[in-house]
Amino acid sequence: MNNRIKLSTFVVCSLLFFASVTSKSLDPYKVLGVEKDATQRQIQKAFHKLSLQYHPDKNKNKGAQEKFAEINNAYEILSDEEKRKNYDMFGDARGSPGFDNGDGGARGGHTFFRNGGPGQSGFTFSPDDWQTMGGQQGGSKSYSFSFGGNSGGSSFGFDLGDVFSNFFGGGGGMGGGGGGSHFRNSGGGSRTGGSRPGSQSSPKSSITSVNSQIYKKQVIDKGITWLLLSYTPLMKGRQHYESVMEEVSSSLKGALEVGSVNCQVESSLCKELGIHPRSTPRLYVYSYKGSESGSLLEYTGDVTVRDLKSFVQDHLPRFSKRVTLAQFEVESGTKGSLPKVMLLSTKKDTPVIWRTLSGLYRKRFVFYDTQVQDASDPAAKKLGVDEVPAVVGWLSNGEKQVLKTGIHVKDMKSTIKEFSNILDEFEKRNKKIAASSQSKKPNAESATEKEPVVPLLTGTNFDAICGEKTPVCIIGVFRSSKGRGKLHTILSSVSQKSLVRNPRDSVSYGLLDASSQSSFLYAFDKSGFKSSDWLLIAYKPRKSKFSAYTGDITSEEVEKFIGSVLNGDVQFSKTRQKPTFK
Say if residue 395's pLDDT is above 60.
yes
Q: What's residue 277's pLDDT?
A: 93
Q: What is the mean pLDDT of residues 528-539?
A: 86
Q: What's residue 388's pLDDT?
A: 92
Q: What's residue 210's pLDDT?
A: 96
Within 13 A of 369's CA, how many CA atoms are on the CB side? Answer: 22
% of the chain at pLDDT higher than 70: 70
Q: What's residue 122's pLDDT?
A: 42
For domain 207-314, the question of CATH label 3.40.50.720 is answered with no
Question: What does the pLDDT look like over 139-189, one tens digit per residue?
Answer: 434 344 433 334 344 334 334 343 333 333 343 433 334 444 444 343 333
Whether the Cβ atoms of residue 548 and residue 535 lie closer than 8 Å to each other: yes
- C-alpha distance from residue 10 to each of 3, 202, 215, 272, 527 (Å): 10, 40, 59, 60, 91
Say if residue 106's pLDDT is above 70.
no
CATH no. for 321-439: 3.40.30.10
Question: What does the pLDDT look like over 331-369, one tens digit per residue?
Answer: 655 556 789 999 999 999 999 999 999 999 999 999 999
List 476's β-bridge partners, or say none: 511, 536
Q: Phi and psi (nearest 5°) for 219?
A: -100, -55
Q: According to CATH, where is 1.10.287.110 located in the chain?
A: 2-192
Q: According to CATH, where is 3.40.30.10 located in the chain?
A: 207-314, 321-439, 450-574
Q: What's residue 107's pLDDT?
A: 39
Question: What does the pLDDT look like over 410-462, one tens digit per residue?
Answer: 788 899 999 999 999 999 999 988 787 666 555 544 444 455 678 999 888 88
What is the Cα–Cα distance from 580 to 43, expressed in whole angstroms?
A: 73
Say if residue 120's pLDDT is above 70.
no
Whether the Cβ atoms of residue 78 and residue 29 lie closer than 8 Å to each other: yes
List 142's β-bridge partners, or say none: 186
Question: What does the pLDDT look like over 6-60, one tens digit per residue?
Answer: 545 554 455 444 444 444 468 999 999 999 888 888 888 888 888 888 887 778 8
The length of the chain is 582
Kindly state the helix (H) or strand (E) to which residue 359 belongs, with its residue range: helix 352-360
Select the CATH number that applies to the domain covering 450-574 from these four: 3.40.50.1370, 3.40.50.2300, 3.40.30.10, 1.10.1370.40: 3.40.30.10
Q: What's residue 64's pLDDT?
A: 84
- Identify the residue with better confidence: 532 or 523: 523
CATH no. for 2-192: 1.10.287.110
